[in-house]
Chain A
């Protein structure tokens, strides 16, 4: 992954994002999902690095799919037409009680489609922070056409994240030494929100005051006076072109299939019904 130009990676990731969100067709989604898995495995990320991210994504998927789609059904309402074949047409027995549950086979398949779609997007984007060198952002955005100031902003942000995190820790310590406690004891919601002020204000105002010096430091070294060059070197290899061409073809194919051949709509494959017929 380190050998692929960040510009090509961004283009591919966005092509994948738009492809995955252009259709609910099960076959196309499945192919996109496969491509995403291959792409992710090329990143060679370890479980240890990414487990937090996956944990967060699982929570999101759980709410979206289990709660909204399977249990309440609202999550599928925009795509799956009402009606359909019930999974348990006669209800089911659990702990000696009889339950009825309006889950349809269609909605269950929709949950699978959603899973493929969201996972594809997650697979493409979760790896960016782990595989992208923070020094490359400025050069990348600049070469993608952004003006120097905007392109540089993200790099400068990266520089100050650890500094601000440390400042936050110091302020937290300072206020705890004055009796501030993280776990609120009493008070209504307004009171609880206001309790954040002793942390929020020093950190924010300090950051603003520092900004004057930072801007001076930049002006004093000629920032914005002429067209910027970048220490970070971006080299396009043949494989980057291959990736871009592939991205374009993938997106074009999906769009043509979806809109030209009407393959963007949700449908349930026959074998899926087969699983639920007795």
Chain B
């Protein structure tokens, strides 16, 4: 049975379903970040090796910009809480943007396993990570007083690269899996 694709998506809606997706997305992002801490490599500012970064990207693509933003923003806050890392509002915002921008693309995607959809998803990953990590890195100019060169090479580039590597590989895998469960869902 095919899903009804004629209904236009309302990507800015925030009803009960979206509250749940956002809350679950954030909790999931936090739990996975914490669980994958095994791979955490210190030494690149606030940048870790984090497969979990795909969660806000995917929740954005699947459920829209608000859910994507909260997944990244609140999820990052919760993840830092779980590891007792403190609170870094700009990095939280940056993570939020990593979910929000794919969310803007979600309006264009109806069938999650089509090549076109996946390419759009991948593009949103690159754009989202660029904007999100730029905002977060630039904050370091102001907060820690580093110069532009350090910000770009020590903060932005490592963060951007790790995020898109994880995102580009894992997002299509999640999108294809999601297409499969969509066939069974009702609401």
Instruction: Say yes or no: A129 contacts B81, CB within 8 Å.
Output: yes
Which residues 170-184 in A have Cβ within 8 Å of B in the complex? 172, 182
Instruction: Say yes or no: B143 contacts A21, CB within 8 Å.
Output: yes
Q: Is A231 an interface residue (CB 8 A)?
A: no
A152 to B23 Cα, complex, angstroms: 9
Chain B residue contacts of A156, Cβ below 8 A: 19-20, 23-24
A194 to B181 Cα, complex, angstroms: 20
Instruction: Say yes or no: A218 contacts B148, CB within 8 Å.
Output: no
Least Cβ–Cβ distance between A208 and chain B, in angstroms: 7
Q: Is A24 an interface residue (CB 8 A)?
A: yes
User: Which of A85-93, A157-165, A233-241, A251-259 forms part of the interface with chain B?
Assistant: A157-165
Instruction: Say yes or no: B31 contacts A164, CB within 8 Å.
Output: yes
Given contacts A60-B45, A129-B81, A212-B186, contact A201 B32 (CB under 8 A): no
A59 to B83 Cα, complex, angstroms: 13
Q: Is B108 an interface residue (CB 8 A)?
A: no
Name B18's closest neighbour in chain A (CB-CB).
A149
Chain A residue contacts of B75, Cβ below 8 A: 157
Instruction: Say yes or no: B84 contacts A129, CB within 8 Å.
Output: yes
Instruction: Say yes or no: B51 contacts A63, CB within 8 Å.
Output: no
Interface string of A21-60 (1 = CB under 8 A from B): 1001000000000000000000000000010111011011
Instruction: Say yes or no: A160 contacts B178, CB within 8 Å.
Output: no
A208 to B187 Cα, complex, angstroms: 12
User: Is chain B's interface secondary structure helix, strand, loop, or mixed overall?
Assistant: helix
Name A125's closest neighbour in chain B (CB-CB).
B87
Q: Is B185 an interface residue (CB 8 A)?
A: yes
Instruction: Say yes or no: A149 contacts B146, CB within 8 Å.
Output: no
User: Which of A94-102, A116-124, A267-275 forms part of the interface with chain B?
Assistant: A116-124
Given contacts A164-B28, A190-B169, A197-B173, contact A50 B84 (CB under 8 A): yes
Chain A residue contacts of B150, Cβ below 8 A: 68, 72, 74-75, 77-78
Chain A residue contacts of B169, Cβ below 8 A: 190, 193-194
Name B89's closest neighbour in chain A (CB-CB).
A17
Chain B residue contacts of A157, Cβ below 8 A: 23-24, 26-27, 30, 74-75, 78
Instruction: Say yes or no: A209 contacts B185, CB within 8 Å.
Output: yes
Instruction: Say yes or no: B174 contacts A201, CB within 8 Å.
Output: yes
Q: Is B130 an interface residue (CB 8 A)?
A: no
Q: Is B127 an interface residue (CB 8 A)?
A: no
Interface residues on B, range: 35 or more
Interface string of B126-154 (1 = CB under 8 A from A): 00000000000000011111111111011
Which residues from chain A sit less than 8 Å from chain B, CB to CB? 13, 17, 21, 24, 50, 52-54, 56-57, 59-60, 63-64, 67-68, 72, 74-80, 110, 113-114, 117-118, 121-122, 125-126, 128-129, 149-150, 152-154, 156-161, 164-165, 168, 172, 182, 189-190, 193-194, 196-197, 200-201, 203-205, 207-212, 214-216, 218-219, 223-224, 266
> A68-B146, A200-B32 known; 7 other A-B pairs, CB under 8 Å?
A56-B85, A77-B146, A121-B87, A153-B70, A154-B26, A207-B28, A224-B15
Top 5 closest pairs, chain A to chain B, by CB: A77-B147, A53-B84, A125-B87, A74-B150, A156-B23
27 pairs of residues in contact across A and B, judged by CB atoms under 8 Å: A21-B142, A52-B83, A53-B86, A56-B86, A63-B43, A63-B44, A78-B141, A78-B146, A110-B145, A129-B81, A149-B15, A149-B19, A153-B23, A156-B23, A157-B24, A160-B27, A161-B27, A161-B30, A161-B78, A168-B32, A190-B169, A201-B177, A208-B181, A212-B187, A215-B16, A219-B16, A224-B15
